[in-house]
């Protein structure tokens, strides 16, 4: 009796499966424009990754509802064939909302912060027919994924990956809207040497493309200024016991410490150092720029410095976005929310101006003009990096991260 | 770069290594006990340890909401609850995933254990927390900020507690196995389950007891480690579990003092490597030591299973 039911059962499963797949395929027809959002949304970097994607999502929603505030000051200069320049307002192109007369659909995927998973995510997005990707967060994910996007001819803008290698690969469709680690490392290294006036530092990193890359840049800058790096070492991303490293740093006579890594380890590491009586300045980069870092080290932790982009809280244009973000998600923005928002606006503006989703034409537009964003005017160079990067040093004050006052 | 001859740094590093080893030892004891009785490697032991961490922290949260922050009461109750929770998981593992495979080929329960390990990791990941959770520092502050001073080295109470617990559990297990009636039944089960059942040893109950005891101890270890590292994460058991498993092999799997010895050697190797070559080399040196020991003593430093030594 059992066997009798087995075959029809199997057949049913197969039929339903095929039908469902077919539905999915046909549902992906051409009446929307698809944008991929990819970053780490689980594990220890979940907070900084998902808040970045939420920033992009807000921009896309605004475009879909034709309410992007950028259009009010976002005037596009079009050069006609005879050389005369005409100024066109963005909203005249997109009166119906969306872009190119179509609604924008986002496909958001979690790369778990793992390079191999990121490649899978990239392949899935390509198969889904996205025309552009905003992501990823971790440099270790962004770099391998960029190969997939570029082979498929898809524009990628990373709002938060700072490893220089990403844009050094020579890919025509790879863009970055934040700064690079060689710029960030130079700022952090100069801060340690010139402002804190120290000569001996210890550096620890998390052995990832981001962490080790940034740590190496800091070392380079610090040594070029005549300082010595007494400890330069790496720990695994899943390591939680830092005591031997802390003892070594304690015995090395380092006058400051630099952490090249994310907040998930940086916070506990800072606490462990203080508990062990190592009260030297703790310096790190954008990877620690997250509220949970402050929650771990304490709202009044002294001698903690982070390098990050310019203070967007002081930019009036950022305020409507920050309010909207808080209203929609019920919490404050993350480190890269503004960058995610800007990246989405740049991509959509470029598509709107190119009047096509063809990657070559969109990339040409992106490299040809300046874009108004919350963080000021953004211009891309031939590699796809922004021409200006505004890394400054931040510190913890009154439970919040604030740019040091002597910074611009 | 660092001056290794600096004696206070060396002393601190050795202490770090011993503490690290003690953390591995707490988990390795669970591996070794199950192997000693059943001859199988319970890869899911690391996950039981991780579940203990989470159970304790969530219980503490619940208690402090119910009647306020009484550090000692909440902590003790939290540990007890975590022990019960982990023991239940351990028993369920045995009942569901291993019991029916007891007579199967040796690879079957091993594969089943790996499956359970992955299942539990992602079950916790999806239902409890996808992110790192912090151990409430309010509860561990007393242990982490107070310390004894021995010469130039300061030992926090927490490290003393972890070390003390490791040797307490080791001694307790050793005594249980070698000097009690229950221990005789355990050893009989380990030697020959059929013969043991013929002479009246309730084999199923003995094996279930092994899992329950091992899992409850894993919960205690989990809480101590969560206090020590300050971090709880769904794959915490995986990494520590792998190192603990290595330690158990190093010392001779199935051998209770061997697990502690192996773990200490592993912890010290890692700490000294960090001092001398940098922690980047930790995995290289650890497994080089493992290979070397296994080449010279294939059954581990102190020899294999409990039963073999009778």
Nearest to B280 among A233, A250, A264 (CB): A233
Interface confidence, given as ipTM, is 0.84
Whether B268 maps to a domain, the answer reads: no
pLDDT given for residue B168 in this prediction: 93
Return the H-helix or E-strand segment holding A132. strand A132-135
Whether B62 maps to a domain, the answer reads: yes
Whether B290 maps to a domain, the answer reads: no
* Helix intervals (H) in chain B: 7-38, 45-67, 71-93, 107-127, 137-145, 157-179, 181-191, 193-198, 203-229, 236-251, 256-276, 282-296
Separation in Å, CA of A133 to nearest CA in chain B: 24
Candidates B121, B107, B92, B95; CA nearest to B40 is B107
pLDDT given for residue A324 in this prediction: 92
Between the alpha carbon of residue B115 and those of residues B33, B96, B99, the distances in Å are 20, 12, 15
Residue B136 Ramachandran class (φ > 0 left, ψ -120 to 50 alpha, else beta): beta
Residue B165: partners with Cβ closer than 8 Å, 6 or more residues away: B22, B26, B220, B221, B224
Whether B271 maps to a domain, the answer reads: no
Q: Which residues in A lie closer than 8 A to residue B2 (C-beta atoms)?
A: 230-231, 248, 251-252
Q: Which residues in B lie closer than 8 A to residue A236 (C-beta atoms)?
A: 239, 282-283
pLDDT higher than 70, residue A10: no
Candidates B208, B230, B253, B219; CA nearest to B76 is B219
For chain A, list residues whose CB is within 8 angstroms of any CB belonging to chain B: 41-44, 46-47, 207, 230-236, 238-241, 243-245, 247-248, 250-252, 264, 268, 271-272, 275, 295-296
pLDDT higher than 80, residue A94: no
pLDDT higher than 80, residue A46: yes
User: 3-class DSSP state for residue A381?
Assistant: coil
Q: Which residues in A lie closer than 8 A to residue B156 (C-beta atoms)?
A: 275
Mean pLDDT of chain B: 88
**What is the chain B residue with the closest CA to A43?**
B131
Whether B121 maps to a domain, the answer reads: yes
Nearest to A234 among B231, B238, B279 (CB): B279
**Which pLDDT band holds residue A87 (cuts at 50, 70, 90)?**
low
**What is the chain A residue with the closest CA to B155?**
A276
Residue A366: partners with Cβ closer than 8 Å, 6 or more residues away: A155, A175, A346, A350, A380
Q: At what angle do helices B236-251 and B282-296 cross, to 10 degrees?
A: 30
The reply to whether residue A46 touches residue B131, judged by beta carbons under 8 angstroms, is yes
- With 0-12 / 13-18 / 19 or more C-beta atoms within 10 angstroms meaning exposed / middle / buried, residue A3 is exposed
DSSP structure string for A159-222: SS---THHHHT--TTEEESS--HHHHHHHHHHIIIIIS--SEEEEEE-SSHHHHHHHHHHHHHH
Ranges of residues in chain B with a pLDDT under 50 are: 1-5, 309-310
Cα distance between residue B286 and residue B268, in whole Å: 10
All domains in chain A, ordered by first residue: 34-179+313-388 (3.40.50.2300), 182-308 (3.40.50.2300)
pLDDT given for residue A230 in this prediction: 95
Nearest to A44 among B1, B132, B229 (CB): B132
pLDDT higher than 50, residue A72: no
pLDDT higher than 50, residue A24: no
Separation in Å, CA of B91 to nearest CA in chain A: 28
- Chain B, residues 218-247, CB within 8 A of chain A, namely 228-231, 233, 235-236, 238-239
Nearest to A42 among B16, B130, B228 (CB): B130
Separation in Å, CA of B12 to nearest CA in chain A: 6
Q: What is the CA radius of gyration of chain A?
A: 23
Whether B256 maps to a domain, the answer reads: no
pLDDT given for residue A327 in this prediction: 93
pLDDT given for residue B236 in this prediction: 87
pLDDT given for residue B307 in this prediction: 52
pLDDT higher than 90, residue A99: no
**What is the chain A residue with the closest CA to B230?**
A268
pLDDT given for residue B306 in this prediction: 52
Mean pLDDT along residues A269-274: 92
Phi and psi at residue A91, to the nearest 5°: -70, -20
Cα distance between residue B224 and residue B79, in whole Å: 10
Residue B180 touches partner A, C-beta closer than 8 Å: no
| pLDDT tens track for A348-395 | 988 888 888 999 999 999 998 888 888 888 899 999 999 887 899 999
Q: Cis link prior to A136 (omega < 30° from 0)?
A: yes
**What is the chain A residue with the closest CA to B7?**
A251
pLDDT given for residue A336 in this prediction: 93
pLDDT given for residue A6 in this prediction: 57
Cα distance between residue B244 and residue B251, in whole Å: 11
Nearest to B132 among A230, A235, A264 (CB): A264
Nearest to B9 among A42, A251, A264 (CB): A251
Separation in Å, CA of B2 to nearest CA in chain A: 5
Cα distance between residue B177 and residue B309, in whole Å: 12
Candidates B267, B307, B290, B308; CA nearest to B20 is B267
| pLDDT tens track for B239-266 | 888 899 999 999 988 889 999 999 999 9
Which one of B8, B9, B16 would you mutate to disrupt binding with A, by most A Cβ within 10 Å of its Cβ? B16
Separation in Å, CA of A240 to nearest CA in chain B: 6
Phi and psi at residue B115, to the nearest 5°: -60, -45
Least confident interval from A21-30, A158-167, A316-325, A395-404: A21-30
| pLDDT tens track for A303-354 | 999 999 988 888 888 898 999 999 999 999 999 999 999 999 999 988 888 8
Mean pLDDT along residues A54-78: 75
pLDDT higher than 80, residue A122: yes
- With 0-12 / 13-18 / 19 or more C-beta atoms within 10 angstroms meaning exposed / middle / buried, residue A96 is exposed
The reply to whether residue A230 touches residue B271, judged by beta carbons under 8 angstroms, is no
- Cα torsion B157, B162, B167, B172 to 10°: value is 110
pLDDT given for residue A69 in this prediction: 67
| pLDDT tens track for A101-119 | 788 999 999 999 999 999 9
Q: Which residues in A lie closer than 8 A to residue B275 (C-beta atoms)?
A: 244, 247-248
pLDDT given for residue A95 in this prediction: 59
Q: Which residues in B lie closer than 8 A to residue A247 (C-beta atoms)?
A: 9, 12-13, 16, 271, 275
Phi and psi at residue A74, to the nearest 5°: -95, 85
Mean pLDDT along residues A163-179: 93
Residue B23 touches partner A, C-beta closer than 8 Å: yes
Q: Beta partners for A392?
A: A308
pLDDT given for residue A140 in this prediction: 92
User: 3-class DSSP state for residue A280?
Assistant: coil
Nearest to A252 among B2, B8, B239 (CB): B2
Least confident interval from A17-21, A97-101, B271-275: A17-21
The reply to whether residue B231 touches residue A240, judged by beta carbons under 8 angstroms, is yes
| pLDDT tens track for A211-228 | 999 999 999 999 999 999
Whether B4 maps to a domain, the answer reads: no
DSSP structure string for B25-76: HHHHHHHHHHHHHHS---TTHHHHHHHHHHHHHHHHHHHHHHH---HHHHHH
Nearest to A247 among B16, B228, B235 (CB): B16
DSSP structure string for A64-77: HTT--THHHH-EEE
Domain count of the fold of chain B: 1
Segments forming the whole domain that contains residue B145: 25-237
* Helix intervals (H) in A38-114: 46-64, 70-73, 90-93
DSSP structure string for A133-156: EEE-SSHHHHHHHHHHHHHHT-EE
Q: At what angle do helices B7-38 and B236-251 cross, to 10 degrees?
A: 80
The reply to whether residue B1 touches residue A231, judged by beta carbons under 8 angstroms, is yes
The distance of Cα A31 from the centroid of its chain, to the nearest Å, equals 29
The reply to whether residue A251 touches residue B20, judged by beta carbons under 8 angstroms, is no
Residue B281 touches partner A, C-beta closer than 8 Å: no
Q: At what angle do helices B157-179 and B181-191 cross, to 10 degrees?
A: 70
pLDDT given for residue A313 in this prediction: 86
Candidates B209, B197, B202; CA nearest to B95 is B209
pLDDT higher than 60, residue A75: no
Q: What percent of chain A has pLDDT over 70?
A: 85
Cα distance between residue A170 and residue A150, in whole Å: 10
Whether B7 maps to a domain, the answer reads: no
pLDDT given for residue A26 in this prediction: 40
A305 versus A398: which is more confidently predicted?
A: A305
> Cβ distance B211 to B91 under 8 Å?
yes
Candidates A38, A36, A56, A70; CA nearest to A334 is A56
User: 3-class DSSP state for residue A284?
Assistant: strand
Six token digits for residue B63: 């208690």
Cα distance between residue B229 and residue A83, in whole Å: 65
Return the H-helix or E-strand segment holding A271. helix A263-275
Nearest to B279 among A41, A244, A251 (CB): A244
pLDDT given for residue A355 in this prediction: 83
- Chain B, residues 121-140, CB within 8 A of chain A, namely 125, 130-132, 134
Separation in Å, CA of B79 to nearest CA in chain A: 21
Phi and psi at residue A136, to the nearest 5°: -95, -165
pLDDT given for residue A316 in this prediction: 86
> Cβ distance B247 to B24 under 8 Å?
yes
**What is the chain B residue with the closest CA to A240?**
B229
Q: Which residues in A lie closer than 8 A to residue B5 (C-beta atoms)?
A: none
Between the alpha carbon of residue A9 and those of residues A6, A19, B153, the distances in Å are 5, 15, 70
Residue B205 touches partner A, C-beta closer than 8 Å: no
pLDDT given for residue A78 in this prediction: 59
């Amino acid at each position: 009796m059992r066997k009798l039911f087995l075959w029809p059962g199997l057949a049913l499963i197969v039929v339903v499966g095929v039908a469902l797949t077919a539905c999915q395929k046909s549902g992906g027809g051409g009446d929307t424009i698809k944008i991929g959002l990819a970053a780490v949304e689980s594990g220890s970097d979940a907070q900084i990754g998902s808040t970045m994607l939420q920033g992009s999502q807000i921009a896309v929603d605004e475009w879909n509802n034709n309410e992007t505030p950028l259009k009010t000051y976002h005037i596009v200069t079009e050069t006609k064939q005879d050389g005369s320049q005409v100024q066109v307002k963005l909203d005249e192109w997109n009166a119906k909302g969306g872009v190119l007369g179509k609604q924008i659909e986002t496909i958001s995927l979690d790369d778990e912060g793992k390079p191999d998973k990121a490649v899978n995510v990239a392949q899935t997005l390509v198969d889904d027919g996205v025309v552009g990707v905003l992501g990823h967060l971790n440099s270790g994910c962004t770099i391998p994924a960029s190969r997939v996007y570029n082979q498929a001819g898809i524009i990628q803008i990373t709002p938060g990956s700072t490893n220089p290698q990403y844009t050094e690969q020579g890919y025509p469709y790879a863009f970055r809207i934040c700064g690079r680690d060689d710029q960030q490392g130079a700022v952090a290294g100069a801060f340690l040497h010139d402002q804190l006036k120290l000569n001996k530092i210890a550096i620890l990193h998390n052995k990832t493309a981001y962490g080790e890359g940034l740590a190496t840049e800091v070392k380079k800058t610090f040594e070029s200024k005549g300082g010595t790096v007494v400890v330069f070492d790496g720990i695994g991303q899943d390591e939680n016991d830092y005591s031997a490293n802390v003892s070594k740093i304690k015995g090395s006579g380092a006058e400051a410490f630099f952490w090249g890594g994310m907040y998930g380890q940086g916070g506990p590491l800072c606490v462990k150092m203080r508990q062990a009586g190592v009260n030297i300045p703790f310096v790190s980069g954008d990877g620690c720029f997250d509220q949970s870092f402050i929650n771990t080290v304490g709202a009044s932790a002294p001698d903690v410095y982070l390098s990050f982009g310019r203070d967007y809280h002081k930019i009036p244009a950022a305020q409507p976005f920050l309010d909207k973000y808080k209203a929609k998600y019920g919490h404050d923005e993350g480190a890269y929310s503004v960058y995610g928002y800007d990246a989405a606006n740049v991509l959509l503006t470029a598509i709107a101006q190119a009047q096509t989703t063809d990657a070559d034409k969109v990339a040409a537009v992106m490299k040809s003009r300046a874009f108004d964003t919350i963080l000021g005017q953004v211009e891309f160079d031939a590699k796809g990096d922004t021409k200006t990067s505004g890394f400054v040093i931040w510190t913890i004050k009154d439970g919040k991260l604030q740019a040091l006052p002597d910074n611009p | 770069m660092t001056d290794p001859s600096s004696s206070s740094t060396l002393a601190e590093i050795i202490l770090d290594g011993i503490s690290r080893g003690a953390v591995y030892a707490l988990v390795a004891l669970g591996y070794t006990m199950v192997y000693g009785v059943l001859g199988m490697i319970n890869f899911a032991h690391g996950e039981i340890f991780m579940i203990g961490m989470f159970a304790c922290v969530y219980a503490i949260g619940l208690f402090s909401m119910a009647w306020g922050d009484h550090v000692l009461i909440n902590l003790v109750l939290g540990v007890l609850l975590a022990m019960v929770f982990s023991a239940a998981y351990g028993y369920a593992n045995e009942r569901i995933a291993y019991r029916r495979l007891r007579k199967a080929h040796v690879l079957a329960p091993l594969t089943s254990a790996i499956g359970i390990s992955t299942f539990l990791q992602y079950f916790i990941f999806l239902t409890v927390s996808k992110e790192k959770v912090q151990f409430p520092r309010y509860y561990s502050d007393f242990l982490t900020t107070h310390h004894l001073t021995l010469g130039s080295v300061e030992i926090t109470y927490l490290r003393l507690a972890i070390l003390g617990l490791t040797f307490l559990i080791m001694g307790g297990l050793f005594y249980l196995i070698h000097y009690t009636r229950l221990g005789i039944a355990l050893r009989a089960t380990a030697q020959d389950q059929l013969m043991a059942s013929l002479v009246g040893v309730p084999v199923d109950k003995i094996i279930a007891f092994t899992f329950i005891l091992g899992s409850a101890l894993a919960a205690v270890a989990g809480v101590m480690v969560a206090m020590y590292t300050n971090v709880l994460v769904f794959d915490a058991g995986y990494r520590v579990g792998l190192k603990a498993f290595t330690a158990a092999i190093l010392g001779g799997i199935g051998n209770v003092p061997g697990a502690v010895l192996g773990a200490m050697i592993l912890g010290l190797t890692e700490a000294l490597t960090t001092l001398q070559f940098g922690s980047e080399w930790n995995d290289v040196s650890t497994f080089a030591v493992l290979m070397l020991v296994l080449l010279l003593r294939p059954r581990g430093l102190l020899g294999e299973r409990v039963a073999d030594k009778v």
